[in-house]
Structure 1
Amino acid sequence: MPTAPQTTDELYRALQENDRRPYGRGRTVTAEELVDAAEHFAEPVPLVHALLELHEAYTYGSEPRKSPVVFARLLTLFDEQPDIFDERLRHTLFWRFKWLANALRALPEIPLASLHQWLTEMRDRYEEAGLGLQPYYGQAYQLAAHTGEDTTLAYELWAGRARTELSDCQACEICERAQYHLTAGDDERALRTWEPVLSGQESCKEEPARSVSYALLPLLRTGRTDRARELHLTGYRACRRNPSMSGEVGRHLEFCALTGNEARGLELLAENRNLFDDVDSPLDLLHFLTGVEVLLQRVGQLGHGDLPASGNTGRTWTVASLHAEVHRRADDLAARFDTRNGTTTHADHRRTRLDRAPLLAALELTLRSRSLDDVAVFVPLATSPAPTAATVPDTLPELITRARELDQQGHPDAEACWARLRTLVAVRDYTHPDDPAVGPLTQLRADLLADEANRAGEKDEFEAAAALHEEAANLYDEAGAPGDATLARACALLATAEIPTQGGDGAEAKTAALTVAHTSMVRLHQETPALAPYQEARLLRLRATALGLRLQSSGDDEHIAPALAEVDLLHAFATQHDVTGQISGAQVLRASTYAVSGDLPAAVTEIDALLDRLKAHGPAWHLPRALGLRGRLQLGLQAAQAAHADLTESLRLATDWPAGAVNTARLHGDLAEACMHLGRPEEALRHLTRSAELELRRGSRTDAYCTYGNAAQLSLDLGRVEDCIALLDSLLVEPDVAAEELDDRLVAQLRLTRARALHAGEDLKAATTEFVALAAESAEWDDDPGSHAMIAAETAVLLGESGEYAQARKAADQALAAHAQAPRYEQLSGCLRELARLQAQQQGGDGLADALAFLADAGRIADEARAAGYQARGRSLDTALAYEHGRVNAYAGAFEDALAALEQALALLGEPGPDQDHAGEWAECVRLAGAIEGIYLERPAPALTRLDAAVSRLTTLGHNEETEPLLSLATQLRNE
Structure 2
Amino acid sequence: MPTAPRTTDELQQALIANQQLPYGRTRTVGAEELVDAAEQFDEPIALVRTLLELQSAYVYGSEPRKSPVVFARLLTLFDEHPDLFDERLRHELFWRFKWVANALRQLPEMPLASIQQWLTEMRARYEKAGLGLQPYYGQAYQLAAHVGQDSAPAYELWAARTRTPLSDCEACEICERALYQLHEGDDEGALDTWEPVLAGTASCQEEPARSVSYALLPLLRTGRTDRARELHLAGYRACRHRPSMSGEVGRHLEFCALTGNEARGLELLAENRGLFDEVESPHAGFDFLTGVEVLLQRVERLGHGELPVAGYAGRVWSVAELRAEVRARADDLATRFDARNGTTAHTDRRRARLDRAPLLDALELTLRTRGLGVAAQAGPAAAPAGRTPAPVSDTLPELILQARNLDERAHPDANACWARLRALVAAPDYAHPDDPAVGSLVRLRADLLADEATLAYDKDEYAVAATLFTQAGDLYEEAGERGHAAFARGYALLAEAEKREKPAEPVEPAEGAGGAEGPEKTEKTERTEKAEKTEGADLAQATEAKVAALSDVHAAVVRLQEDTPDLAPYQEARLLRLRATALVLRLQTSGSEEHAAPVLAEADLLRTFATLHSLVSQISGARFLRATTHAVCGDLPAARTEVDGLLDELEEHGPAWHLPRALGLRARLRLGLGEAPGAHADLTEALRLAADWPAEAVHTSRLHGDLAEACMHLGRPDEALRHLTRSAELELRADRRAQAFNTYGNAAALSLDLGRVEDSIALLDSLLAEPEAATGELDDRLLAQLRLTRARALHAGEDLKAATAEFVALAAESAGWDDDPGSHAMIAAETAVLLGEAGEFGPARQAAEQALAAHARAPRYEQLSNSLRELARLQAEQQGPDGLAGALAFLTDADRIASEARAAGFEARGRSLDTALAYEHGRVNAYAGAYEDALAALDKALDLIGEPAPGDDRAGEWAECVRLAAVVEGIYLKRAAPALTRLDAAITRLTSLGRTDEATSLTSLATRLRDGK
Q: 1:879 to 1:622 in 2, by over 3 A?
A: closer
Paired residues of 1:412 and 1:658 also in contact (CA < 8 A): yes
Aligned-partner Cα distance in 1 for 2:144–2:19: 34
Aligned to 1:766: 802
Aligned-partner Cα distance in 2 for 1:839–1:953: 34
Q: Give the paired residue count.
A: 974
Q: 1:626 to 1:204 in 2, by over 3 A?
A: same
Aligned-partner Cα distance in 2 for 1:835–1:357: 54
Aligned-partner Cα distance in 2 for 1:676–1:777: 33
Q: 1:784 to 1:554 in 2, by over 3 A?
A: closer
Q: Secondary structure of 2:373's partner?
A: helix
Equivalent of 2:815 in 779, 804, 816: 779
Aligned to 2:668: 632
Aligned to 1:336: 336
Distance apart, 1:239 and its partner CA: 0.6
Aligned pairs for 1:937-948 within 5 A = 937-948=973-984
Distance apart, 1:576 and its partner CA: 1.8
Aligned to 1:742: 778
Distance apart, 1:820 and its partner CA: 2.2
Aligned pairs for 1:34-73 within 5 A = 34-73=34-73
Aligned-partner Cα distance in 1 for 2:847–2:349: 52
Distance apart, 1:916 and its partner CA: 4.5
Q: Which moved more, 1:710-719 or 1:866-875?
A: 866-875
Distance apart, 1:388 and its partner CA: 9.9
Aligned-partner Cα distance in 2 for 1:108–1:50: 29
Distance apart, 1:155 and its partner CA: 1.0
Paired residues of 2:293 and 2:323 also in contact (CA < 8 A): yes
Q: Which moved more, 1:42-51 or 1:53-62?
A: 42-51
Distance apart, 1:534 and its partner CA: 1.9
Aligned-partner Cα distance in 1 for 2:678–2:1006: 54
Equivalent of 1:864 in 888, 891, 900: 900
Paired residues of 1:839 and 1:848 also in contact (CA < 8 A): yes
Q: Is 1:843 equivalent to 2:879 in the alignment? A: yes
Q: Which residue identity does 1:83 align to in structure 2? A: D
Paired residues of 2:380 and 2:695 also in contact (CA < 8 A): no
Aligned to 1:413: 413
Q: 1:636 to 1:860 in 2, by over 3 A?
A: closer
Aligned to 2:722: 686
Q: Deviations over 1:375-398 (max 9, x none)?
A: 443356699xxx999621111111
Distance apart, 1:715 and its partner CA: 0.9
Q: Secondary structure of 1:374's partner?
A: coil
Q: Secondary structure of 2:96's partner?
A: helix
Equivalent of 1:654 in 690, 694, 712: 690
Aligned to 1:618: 654
Aligned-partner Cα distance in 2 for 1:880–1:388: 63
> Relative CO higher for 1 or 2, CA cutoff 8 Å, sep ≥ 6?
2
Paired residues of 1:382 and 1:660 also in contact (CA < 8 A): no
Q: Deviations over 1:918-944 (max 9, x none)?
A: 222222222222222222222222222
Aligned-partner Cα distance in 2 for 1:914–1:800: 39
Aligned-partner Cα distance in 1 for 2:258–2:439: 55
Aligned to 1:952: 988
Q: 1:360 to 1:576 in 2, by over 3 A?
A: same
Aligned-partner Cα distance in 1 for 2:610–2:943: 73
Aligned-partner Cα distance in 2 for 1:951–1:622: 62
Paired residues of 1:382 and 1:415 also in contact (CA < 8 A): no
Aligned to 1:905: 941
Q: Which residue identity does 1:693 align to in structure 2? A: E
Q: 1:722 to 1:412 in 2, by over 3 A?
A: same
Aligned to 1:136: 136
Q: Which moved more, 1:670-679 or 1:482-491?
A: 482-491
Aligned-partner Cα distance in 1 for 2:118–2:10: 36
Q: Deviations over 1:684-718 (max 9, x none)?
A: 01111111121122122221121111111111111
Distance apart, 1:422 and its partner CA: 0.7
Paired residues of 1:391 and 1:416 also in contact (CA < 8 A): no
Distance apart, 1:228 and its partner CA: 0.4
Aligned-partner Cα distance in 1 for 2:993–2:546: 58
Aligned-partner Cα distance in 1 for 2:56–2:726: 45
Aligned-partner Cα distance in 2 for 1:251–1:697: 31
Aligned-partner Cα distance in 2 for 1:509–1:302: 56
Distance apart, 1:370 and its partner CA: 1.2
Aligned to 2:516: none
Paired residues of 2:380 and 2:696 also in contact (CA < 8 A): no
Distance apart, 1:827 and its partner CA: 2.1
Aligned-partner Cα distance in 2 for 1:707–1:843: 42
Paired residues of 1:443 and 1:476 also in contact (CA < 8 A): yes
Aligned to 1:667: 703
Q: Is 1:532 equivalent to 2:561 in the alignment? A: no
Aligned-partner Cα distance in 2 for 1:522–1:870: 49
**Unaligned 5+ residue runs, structure 1?**
none
Distance apart, 1:949 and its partner CA: 2.4
Q: Which residue identity does 1:102 align to in structure 2? A: N
Aligned-partner Cα distance in 2 for 1:145–1:969: 57
Q: Deviations over 1:125-157 (max 9, x none)?
A: 111211111111111111111112131111111
Paired residues of 1:665 and 1:695 also in contact (CA < 8 A): yes
Aligned-partner Cα distance in 2 for 1:792–1:382: 46
Aligned to 1:319: 319
Aligned to 1:106: 106
Paired residues of 1:135 and 1:168 also in contact (CA < 8 A): yes
Q: Deviations over 1:944-974 (max 9, x none)?
A: 2222222233333333322222222222222
Aligned to 2:372: 372
Aligned to 1:549: 585
Aligned to 1:460: 460
Distance apart, 1:863 and its partner CA: 2.6
Aligned to 2:598: 562
Q: Which residue identity does 1:191 align to in structure 2? A: L
TM-score by length of 1: 0.97
Q: 1:361 to 1:137 in 2, by over 3 A?
A: same
Aligned pairs for 1:819-838 within 5 A = 819-838=855-874
Structure 1 runs of 4+ with >4 Å offset: 379-383, 387-390, 501-504
Q: Is 1:709 equivalent to 2:737 in the alignment? A: no
Q: Is 1:577 equivalent to 2:613 in the alignment? A: yes
Q: Secondary structure of 2:290's partner?
A: helix
Aligned to 1:279: 279
Equivalent of 1:730 in 744, 756, 766: 766
Q: Which residue identity does 2:24 align to in structure 1? A: G
Q: Which residue identity does 1:153 align to in structure 2? A: P
TM-score by length of 2: 0.94
Structure 1 vs Structure 2 CA RMSD: 1.9
Q: Deviations over 1:863-910 (max 9, x none)?
A: 333333332333332322222222222212222222222222222222
Distance apart, 1:783 and its partner CA: 2.1
Distance apart, 1:108 and its partner CA: 1.0
Q: Deviations over 1:774-806 (max 9, x none)?
A: 111112222222222211111111111111112
Aligned to 1:163: 163
Q: 1:636 to 1:871 in 2, by over 3 A?
A: closer
Paired residues of 2:382 and 2:694 also in contact (CA < 8 A): no
Aligned-partner Cα distance in 1 for 2:869–2:620: 60
Q: Which moved more, 1:438-447 or 1:309-318?
A: 309-318
Q: 1:155 to 1:376 in 2, by over 3 A?
A: farther
Paired residues of 2:869 and 2:890 also in contact (CA < 8 A): yes
Q: 1:625 to 1:877 in 2, by over 3 A?
A: closer
Paired residues of 2:397 and 2:438 also in contact (CA < 8 A): yes
Aligned-partner Cα distance in 1 for 2:25–2:652: 71
Q: Which moved more, 1:562-571 or 1:751-760?
A: 562-571
Q: Which residue identity does 1:625 align to in structure 2? A: R
Q: Secondary structure of 1:371's partner?
A: coil
Q: 1:388 to 1:304 in 2, by over 3 A?
A: farther
Paired residues of 1:912 and 1:922 also in contact (CA < 8 A): yes
Q: Secondary structure of 2:954's partner?
A: helix
Aligned-partner Cα distance in 2 for 1:705–1:290: 34
Q: Which moved more, 1:767-776 or 1:510-519?
A: 510-519
Aligned to 2:889: 853
% identical aligned pairs:
75
Q: Deviations over 1:629-656 (max 9, x none)?
A: 2222222222111111121122122221
Distance apart, 1:174 and its partner CA: 0.8
Aligned-partner Cα distance in 2 for 1:564–1:835: 56
Paired residues of 1:263 and 1:375 also in contact (CA < 8 A): no
Q: Which residue identity does 2:145 align to in structure 1? A: A
Aligned-partner Cα distance in 2 for 1:687–1:85: 63
